[in-house]
């Protein structure tokens, strides 16, 4: 998240070169679609930048809640877009292949919205603690808060790994915190609170209740008509399967949920 003026399109050209070097066929569909949406909204924004960024003043005081949806998908300039999308390209490809397309898309939607909510709560808390209204007026935009949440998730799956930051080895367990401080020091225009919000959302998923809540919500949607096959489940690639163990992530029905769904269908037929 940051707030800068738009510049040249060199960043877009470099991003295009990265895509072709990696090969479009090697990029999973959800990752490619979300990246394409960010590029499209940079070229054809849904709202001017100052009407897309999120702040306590604009979202809470003035009740402009649509900014929670717009802010992660808009970028201040092409370099902001380039660095965020190159980072997303790497993280998204790894996580989508691990979690499956449907769950990864669900994860991105929740992370995008929740990062904005946590950002507002942090800024409102700082305003209250310091009695400094500038915190409530700080307006953030960009996908980097979501990227920090994805980084926490990626590091969670590689707990013993090491990442080199400016040539120094840092345990994956702490690398998000190191990069949080480093990015703020080297790039003063970035939003420290926006990035911190992303880290906290990632921790809510990996070490908190968020994953369990998301699974319950997904199961509720499937049970109430999302899945038209009562004995099947949605696997990680988005298809249905009639047998075998369900994937560890993605939309699927438990045995209890399937039995309940069958019972309800039989009751409906009996009533009719």
Tell me whether residue 239 is in a domain.
yes
User: Which helix H or strand E contains 49, and what residues bound it?
Assistant: helix 49-52
What mean pLDDT is reported for the chain? Answer: 83
pLDDT score, position 260: 53
For residues 165 and 67, membership in a common domain is answered with yes
Lowest-confidence range among 39-53, 111-125, 221-235?
221-235
Q: Is residue 202 domain-shared with residue 93, that is, in the same domain?
A: yes
Q: Are residues 200 and 219 in the same domain?
A: no
What is the DSSP annotation of 148-168?
HHHHHHHHHT-TT-EEEETTE
In a domain, 87, yes or no: yes
Bridge pairing between strands 240-241 and 233-234: antiparallel
The verdict on 129 and 248 lying in the same domain is no
Across residues 216-220, what is the average pLDDT?
88
C-alpha–C-alpha distance, residues 161 and 157, integer Å: 9
Res. 177: pLDDT tops 80: yes
Our CA angle for 126, 132, 137, nearest 5°, is 80
Does any domain span residue 72? yes
pLDDT at residue 223 in the model:
73
* Domain CATH code at residue 109: 1.20.1540.10
**Same domain? 253 vs 141:** no
259 pLDDT higher than 80: no
Instruction: Please identify, among 153, 180, 208, the residue that sits at the C-terminal boundary of a domain.
Output: 208
With respect to residue 137, please indicate whether it lies within any of the assigned structural domains.
yes
Q: Indicate the range of 7-11, 65-69, 153-157, 210-214 predicted with least confidence.
A: 7-11
DSSP string, 108-130: HHHHHHHHHHHHHHHHHHHHHHH
Model confidence over 240-254: pLDDT tens digits? 444 444 444 444 444
My answer on whether 27 and 137 are in the same domain is: yes
Structural domain count, the chain? 2
DSSP code for 233: E
Q: Check: CB of residue 76 under 8 Å from CB of residue 2.
A: yes
Say if residues 96 and 30 touch (Cβ distance below 8 Å): yes
- The length of the chain is 272
Which of the listed residues 168, 185, 208 is the one where a domain comes to its end?
A: 208
In a domain, 45, yes or no: yes
| Nearest alpha carbon to residue 150 among 99, 197, 91 | 91
pLDDT at site 263: 56
Judge if 166 and 266 occupy the same domain.
Answer: no
- Using the predicted structure, report yes or no on whether residue 2 has a pLDDT greater than 70: no
Residue 4 within a domain: no
Residue 185 within a domain: yes
User: CA 72 to CA 122: how far, in whole Å?
Assistant: 17
Token digits for 237? Answer: 């690639």
- Of the candidates 146, 144, 139, 120, the residue with the CA atom closest to the CA atom of residue 50: 139
Whether the per-residue pLDDT at 228 is higher than 50: the answer is: no
Out of 208, 236, 258, a domain closes at: 208
Residue 238 pLDDT more than 60? no
Residue 126 shares a structural domain with residue 57: yes
Whole-model pTM above 0.85?
no
Characterize the bridge pairing of strands 240-241 and 162-165. Answer: unpaired
Average pLDDT for 14-21: 94
Residue 95 Ramachandran class (φ > 0 left, ψ -120 to 50 alpha, else beta): alpha
User: Which pair of tokens denotes residue 216?
Assistant: 């319950």
Residue that is written with structure tokens 């054809």 in the block: 44
Domain enclosing residue 233, as ranges: 212-271
Question: Does residue 248 sit in the same domain as residue 153?
Answer: no
Question: Mean pLDDT across the stretch 77-81?
Answer: 93
Q: Which residues are catalytic?
A: 144, 195
């Amino acid at each position: 998240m940051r707030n800068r003026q738009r510049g040249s399109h060199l960043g877009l050209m470099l991003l295009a070169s990265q895509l072709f070097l990696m090969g479009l066929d090697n990029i999973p569909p959800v990752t490619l679609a979300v990246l394409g949406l960010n590029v499209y909204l940079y070229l054809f924004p849904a709202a001017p930048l100052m009407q897309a960024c999120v702040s306590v003043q604009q979202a809470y005081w003035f009740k402009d809640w649509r900014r929670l949806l717009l802010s992660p998908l808009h970028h201040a300039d092409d370099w902001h877009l380039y660095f965020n999308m190159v980072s997303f390209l790497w993280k998204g490809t790894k996580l989508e292949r691990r979690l499956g397309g449907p769950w990864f898309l669900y994860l991105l939607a929740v992370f995008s919205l929740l990062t904005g909510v946590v950002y507002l709560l942090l800024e409102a808390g700082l305003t209250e603690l310091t009695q400094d209204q500038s915190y409530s007026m700080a307006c953030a935009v960009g996908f980097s808060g979501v990227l920090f949440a994805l980084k926490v998730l990626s590091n969670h799956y590689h707990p013993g790994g090491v990442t080199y930051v400016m040539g120094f080895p840092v345990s994956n367990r702490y690398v998000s915190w190191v990069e949080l401080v480093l990015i703020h020091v080297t790039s003063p225009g970035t939003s420290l609170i926006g990035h911190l919000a992303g880290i906290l959302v990632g921790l809510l998923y990996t070490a908190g209740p968020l994953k369990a809540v998301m699974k319950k919500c997904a199961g509720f949607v499937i049970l109430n008509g999302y899945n038209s096959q009562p004995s099947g489940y949605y696997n990680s690639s988005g298809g249905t399967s009639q047998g075998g163990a369900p994937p560890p992530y993605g939309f699927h029905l438990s045995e209890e949920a399937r039995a309940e769904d069958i019972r309800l269908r039989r009751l409906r037929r009996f009533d009719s």
